[in-house]
Amino acid sequence: MSDDILFEIKDLEVSYGSIAAIKGISLQVRKGEIVTILGANGAGKTTTMRTISRLLKAKSGSIRFKGHELTSLPAHKIVKLGISHSPEGRRVFGILTVEENLLLGAFTRSKVDRNTLDWVYELFPRLKERKKQLAGTLSGGEQQMLAIGRALMCNPEMLLLDEPSLGIAPILVKAIFQQIKEISRKGVTVLLVEQNAKAALKLADRGYVLDVGKIALAGTSEELLASPKVQEAYLGKKH
Amino acid sequence: MDIFLQQLANGLTIGSMFALVALGYTMVYGVMRLINFAHGDMVAASAFVGLTIYTQVMGQATSLPAVIAIFLLSAVCMACIGIILERVAYRPLREAPRLSAVVSALGASLVIQNGIMLIWGPRMRIFPELVPQVYWDFGGVVISLIQVIILVLSLVLMVALYLFVEKTRIGAAIRASSIDQDAARLMGINVNRIIALIFIIGSSLGAVGGLFIGLYYRGITFNMGWQYGLYAFVAAIIGGIGNIPGAMLGGMLLGLFNAFIAGYVSSTWADAFTFILLIVILIVRPTGILGERVAEKV
């Protein structure tokens, strides 16, 4: 690993009360990469994401981003440093309009950047058509677009995407994954958590496989796609 | 007809006081899902703080600048106490079970109530005549200057609060925090600061409400916070707890309802009818008149 590492987790442990959820994981993300974290339900993927954003407290270990230690910062400061999180379950503000949601995404900016707003509308034209509509009335896929768009509004350097395909029509999943590629092309580093291993590995440069709180496998997407373990566990192929 | 108009004027006056106090309940509930039972006692404390500022700081002056200063200083004092209250009684219990916070709120209520009694004594005190006794008689309907001031100032404060919450960036952060605190944090909103702000706004509005109660009813007692707090709490529920315009509407409606019951039935029955109204509203519309806004998926 060279010095272009943007983000690094080292020996991270997280627990809920006495129950350990993350049992010492380490991973790196280089600038401009798309890195995916795969794993089954309960493997600790969302826990990892929530700990990065400091919605959860780490028990031990370190999370570093551009030289800053994140584990000791409050959640709102992490957004300011340039990490934006589109959470599992989308968590859009249902009784606010689409545009109000997007503007809240730019809360850390003293002024809303019109270019960013235009870019988000360009990525997801559906949001522009529905900007005056309450977010809670959107379909699941549209809410996911809104959650991603909202996370982009603060011009993050790194985007955390937690299960963007969850509960969404396959055709919209494809569209959303295409736009994630587009977001990455604009220079945003992406850390993507997914259960849909096939779609995630097609998109990502590298991946980690989490298994009950530990990293079971790591490698480039090609290596993981070819790995019998991944094929059996996540791609439904028998050997 | 005279009774109707007279009670309309009285109802709007007490209604705007209820509304100011109800806003404190509803805003705290909106973000924290907690009934701040100490709020009524904060309102009572404000009347006593205002009394002391009048006698000790202002040298019993009743000029307009002095009266404005009494209002501002009382609001600032109560805002500070509100911040301390949140820090001491509620923040340590943020992650605790709901019941712990409720018990803490009731405890805070008793502490403030007894604090007032220790400082100002258990007997009724007379609030100073800060506003001259001017009355207008419109063919049998009497309206006082105090009533006009209470109504106008309350409306100005409520419109200002509404615009602040609906139109500003910080207002949007307040709304976001009341919908989903974790999601608000992910937007970079410092939710602790928003909660402190809510206590500042709620306590200041409550402080103005407490001074109005002193001006209007003149007699103030250490335990009056319970009664006015309860009315305002009912008003907040009638309008839809957590809903800011709801608290304003609920306060006004409850004030009018109270005044008409007092005018047409009997003032001794006003309390009983108030709670009958509460029960009816809870049966017919459990979320209150305006309720929580919910976006239905189509």
Nearest-CA distance from A110 to chain B in Å?
10
Looking at the DSSP assignment, which residues form a beta bridge with residue B249? none
Two tokens at B277?
A: 């109204």
Which among A35, A106, A80, A26 is positioned nearest to A58, based on CA atoms? A26
Nearest-CA distance from B241 to chain A in Å?
16
Task: Give the A window 75-94 contacts with B, CB below 8 Å.
Answer: 75-76, 79-80, 84-85, 87, 91-94
- DSSP symbol at A88: T
H helices, E strands: number in chain A: 10, 10
**What is the rounded end-to-end Cα distance, in angstroms, of chain B?**
48
**Amino acid letter, residue B260:** F
Q: Note whether B91 contacts A: Cβ–Cβ < 8 A.
A: no
CB contact under 8 A, A76 and B295: no
Nearest by CB: A79 against B176, B187, B295: B187
For residue B117, count CB atoms less than 10 angstroms from its CB and return exposed for 0-12, middle for 13-18, buried for 19 or more. Answer: middle
Residue of A51, A56, A107 best to disrupt the B interface, most CBs of B under 10 A: A107
b or e along B223-245 (b: 16 or more beta carbons within 10 Å of the residue's beta carbon)?
ebbbebbbbbbbbbbbbbbbbbb
Q: Which domains are present in chain A?
A: 5-92+140-234 (3.40.50.300)
Nearest-CA distance from B296 to chain A in Å?
6
Rounded Cα distance between A85 and B22, Å, is 36
* Residue the block writes with tokens 């009743």: B62
Rounded Cα distance between B35 and B233, Å, is 9
pLDDT at B127 over 80: yes
For residue A41, count CB atoms less than 10 angstroms from its CB and return exposed for 0-12, middle for 13-18, buried for 19 or more. Answer: exposed
User: In chain A, whose CA is at the least distance from the CA of B191?
Assistant: A76
Nearest by CB: A91 against B172, B180, B190: B180
Which among A200, A206, A205 is positioned nearest to A234, based on CA atoms? A200
pLDDT at B297 over 50: no
User: In chain A, whose CA is at the least distance from the CA of B189?
Assistant: A76
Nearest-CA distance from A116 to chain B in Å?
15
To 5 degrees, how large is the angle CA A41–CA A44–CA A45? 85
Digitized pLDDT (tens) for each residue of chain A, 239 residues in all: 456 899 999 999 999 989 999 999 999 999 999 999 999 888 999 999 999 999 999 999 999 999 999 999 999 999 999 999 999 999 999 999 999 999 999 999 988 889 999 999 999 999 999 999 999 999 999 999 999 999 999 999 999 999 999 989 999 999 999 999 999 999 999 999 998 899 999 999 999 999 999 999 999 999 999 998 888 877 776 66
User: In chain A, whose CA is at the least distance from the CA of B179?
Assistant: A93
Which among B267, B271, B268, B277 is positioned nearest to B3, based on CA atoms? B267
Cα B90–chain centre separation? 19
* Whole-complex ipTM: 0.94
Q: Note whether A166 contacts B: Cβ–Cβ < 8 A.
A: no
Neighbours of A120 (CB within 10 A): 24
Q: Note whether B95 contacts A: Cβ–Cβ < 8 A.
A: no
| Whole-Å CA distances, B249 to A23, B13, B274, B294 | 53, 13, 15, 19
Rounded Cα distance between A118 and B259, Å, is 54
Nearest-CA distance from A105 to chain B in Å?
5
Residue of B168, B169, B187 best to disrupt the A interface, most CBs of A under 10 A: B187
pLDDT in the model for residue A4: 86
pLDDT at B298 over 60: no
Which among B190, B168, B74, B191 is positioned nearest to B130, based on CA atoms? B74
Two tokens at A81?
A: 């440093």
Nearest-CA distance from B243 to chain A in Å?
12
Task: Give the A window 107-146 contacts with B, CB below 8 Å.
Answer: 107-108, 134-139
pLDDT in the model for residue A116: 96
Q: Where are the beta strands (DSSP E) in B110-149?
A: 125-126, 135-138, 141-144
Residue of A46, A51, A57, A93 best to disrupt the B interface, most CBs of B under 10 A: A93
Q: Note whether A151 contacts B: Cβ–Cβ < 8 A.
A: yes
